[in-house]
Structure 1
Amino acid sequence: MHEIITLQLGNQANYLATHFWNTQESYFTYGEDQDESPVDHDVHFRPGLAPDGTETFMPRTVIYDLKGAFGTLRKINALYDVDDESTPPQALWNGAPTLHRARPSRNPPTPNPSTRACPRRASPPAVRYFSDYSRVFYHPKSIVQLAEHELNSSVAPFERHATGEELFADLDREHTTCSTATCAPSPRRDHMQGVQVFAGLEDAWGGFAGRYLERIRDEYGKEKRLLRLANKAKTLIEAYKQASIIVPLAVPERLAGRVKLDAASQWHTSALLAAAMESAMLPSRLKDPFKRETLGGMADVLNTMGKQSVAGLQISFAPAQPEEGQKDARQRKLTEEELSEGVQLDLRFTPSDQLEAYSRSNGFDKPRVFSQLVASRGYGDEPVEPVEIDEAGRRVRRSSYEPVTKSYNSTLQFPLLDSFPDIFRGDDDEELTGALNITSSLSTDSSVFNRLKSLRSTVIRSFGIEDRETLGNELMEMADEYHEGWSSGSDDGEDD
């Protein structure tokens, strides 16, 4: 339905919003003799039931104002006060009621049960509150009176920007403002198209509005991220059962200084991912049988332990032709020591499994590497220091703790085509053109354990009750494949 939630923050905003709602109410049509309204009322209004069973259609809004600003707004809501047991109706006399019926008109319109009449063309002195000219009823949960401050108070005027910020902070701590108030007007936020905000800017309401907007952005950003993570968890579980190797990819949260990327441009972000992916998979396309590797062979190396099929991708790059007299520090061969400890390159394409976009980890903590495929392109025929290899072409390990490693090499550089954005820079910040030398690493390592465990704890409550236990157990089973045999044994409280 593409609903819009409205927030009304302050007296000035409420005067403006009242005119807005009156106008929306005027678009309703009643009776068969009227043309259908061109306005979709479901966008700004929500259906419901009053306590007496009356169908209602009320604004999707939350109205904030100070004590003394609402006038008679709370008292005249006939739709929701009729069954209020705390204030039973008081009879004005003890006699029996007498019913008088007026003669009905020939074609009576059907009134909107959520609207009320108000004085038409009232003079300014007659309007003391925004509620004096309101033509609609509001849901009780839409009205939020902030009793800490009083309208037009000379003792404690609501004027300073900081005062509004402090009031919002107090309210948010006590009532979780965004997660409760904005839910009331819209029980189905999965169809919401946005939030419309009316707010005063010249007094303390400016500070209140600023913090409210910040909170909304944070809350709704988390909702979308949680949905994406829940989808990711389900996909990983299914892919884990079927695929030989899974390589989740994401634009690095922290880019090397020599990458100039417009994160909002899919042309830019996909180009960076393509350079990494195409380089890592280059061995599967080479003609030379001594340098070529099949996808099955690559999977066998990475999945040495049996069920470690979730791998990560990293790359480093350097100019194809450094300037004369200069040798780029990254144009070096990987050493035996680096291979024995697990290669750590400049750019890591591992997605974050945290609800927060950025975790405290810098993404380059050194995990234990179980297996790795290292592919170098453009650096010459020998990518690493001479190492002893076995019959399968894998590096001979000196201990079982070292990673299973296989290296590949090609003189073919990565071409920077005219269709490729200028995202790579040299050490002098000059645009790199023509081609790149790239070293890539596909690896399985112990960081997957914490990532999968974190993903599970983040999304487990978003699953339905029937799926929660099954999906949670499957994620932990996947995680345990990267945990058993190397950890100190602490489980960090993985149970919720």
Structure 2
Amino acid sequence: MKELVTIQVGDFANYVGSHFWNFQDELLGLAGDPNADSFFKNHDLNMDVLYRTGVTQQGILTYTPRLLSINMRGSLGSLSSHGTLYKEVTSFPSDVVTWTGKISTQACEPHKKNLFLQRLYEEEENLIVTNDTSGSSNGSQSEYQDKDIVESLENVVEFWTDYSKVHYHPQSLYELNGVWMDAEDFNNYGIGKDSFSWDLQGEEISDRLRFFVEECDHIQGFQFVVDDSGGFSAVAEEFLENIVDEYTNTPVLLYAVQGHRACTSLQSKKRTVLEDLHDAVSFSRLSSYSKLIVPLGMPSLSKGKVSKFLHIEDEKHYHSSAVYAAALHSISLPFRMDPIGPTTPASSVSGAVDLHGVIQMLSGQGRQNMVSILDVAIPAPALFGGQNEQSLLENLHPLTPQIAEDVEDMQGVECLTVHGAYASGSHRASVSQVKDAVDAAFQCAETNPMFYHLSVALCPLPIPLSFPSIFGNQVGQHGELMGGPITNSSSKGSLDVYSIPMAARLRSSNAILPFVESRLRNLHQFGIDRGAAGAQLLRGWGFGREDLEEMEEMLSKMVATLCPPQLSSDSD
């Protein structure tokens, strides 16, 4: 087994992570449910890749994510930073001998648990009172309670912990001391750099990471998710630099996620310059410390092609983070598939590969510190007939912003994961059927990558109760796409949709050029040019001329590496 250690830095990153771990928790629960679909009970996924076993002081066995979450103080809502499994023991001295003056205590009211968290607490404490006099009355009562819970989550989610159904280890949840400001104010690289000192807090963070790494037998890498929309990118940079120094040969797959940015026609030029410079600086600094960086954050998910069968409210992090989390779940499946040998009987998975293997594939053409595009189909259409007027590949749409369409990259490489797919109608596709369909799609495509790797799993994406109501009217109970026009009727959630088929793809392609070029252009125009509008701002962030020229050189090399030969040759 090769373990993964997951790191989540920042508020939106933890919103994404909360959904991601809910999917894993749901898989664990369904695997032991005798009434669950057989695909969930025999998924051939090694959950120990993501989870660790432990034991409490009371001798109770635990199974918790191998996770380090970092966020600002006060971001955990009603959840204690020690989690819920290991009780925090706090002792106060009865006599204060070093102070003889008056003592005043200031305390704030703890956040109340919402209906979802109350239900979890009651279930775990065995305090649920049920009237099991008849099956029908019990069922209607349960249905009413679930509807109430789903409605409450749709209306009010203040923290990522509000919909988290997972137990965390006490070492997992770290709140930054001294960072109390609202997320809206913690909105750029400079603020993050000023607010966080690695010298003061870095050692404790390193110790927590070391706790998870040292108990791994054969760590395959770090799955790092950072909120790239504000100050946490500076925190992540410091952390990544430390990881690269301490774990030299351990690869980092970095997901730089951004939540929806409210943008109005009255937005000031100063605000636009700040955001453009933040994006340029953050991307340049973060990509220098990761083997593979995947930018995620469409300007509007609700208006994008990826939401053909979804109803998303962009301003709700609870909604958008669920889509990104589903994509991360799908693309990480190959990292925990049980390898299949030549004498192994038929399996429900194919195409296992570890994190190092994926990075080697995607950067195999000399594209080091590679920027990758993440595409997704949610839910994935059936392979043959019905809604599938286009091939599976044509139904994959980017979650990475500023991507060029219909470009051909003779050096392109793709890593594709398909799981829970339907052959047609409501008939699940076998592993071989998925392989044949994908091969046929590539043969018929107008442009093809130089190489692609396919991973297949029969297990679909489970939809937990806490998942938002974002599915459209055409999505059936198990994610099958039904006929009829797409309407703007009320959305479906976990009470109507229990699982969905998914397809996700990481690709190394020069289609990412507009994304990199925009950051290079903005850095030069607003930060380096004579009289640049953001020069003083960058000096306030602590960057001198040499720092900016170094970032510019790095971005220029990225562009040169990605440029097709015909674009980099002389055209005179």
Q: Identify whether the pair has TM-score above 0.5, normalized to the shorter chain.
A: no
Q: With CA pairs under 8 Å and 6+ residues apart, which has the higher RCO, 1 or 2?
A: 2
Larger radius of gyration: 1
Give TM-score scaled by structure 2 length: 0.39
Give TM-score scaled by structure 1 length: 0.44
Q: Where is the helix percentage greater, Structure 1 or Structure 2? A: 2
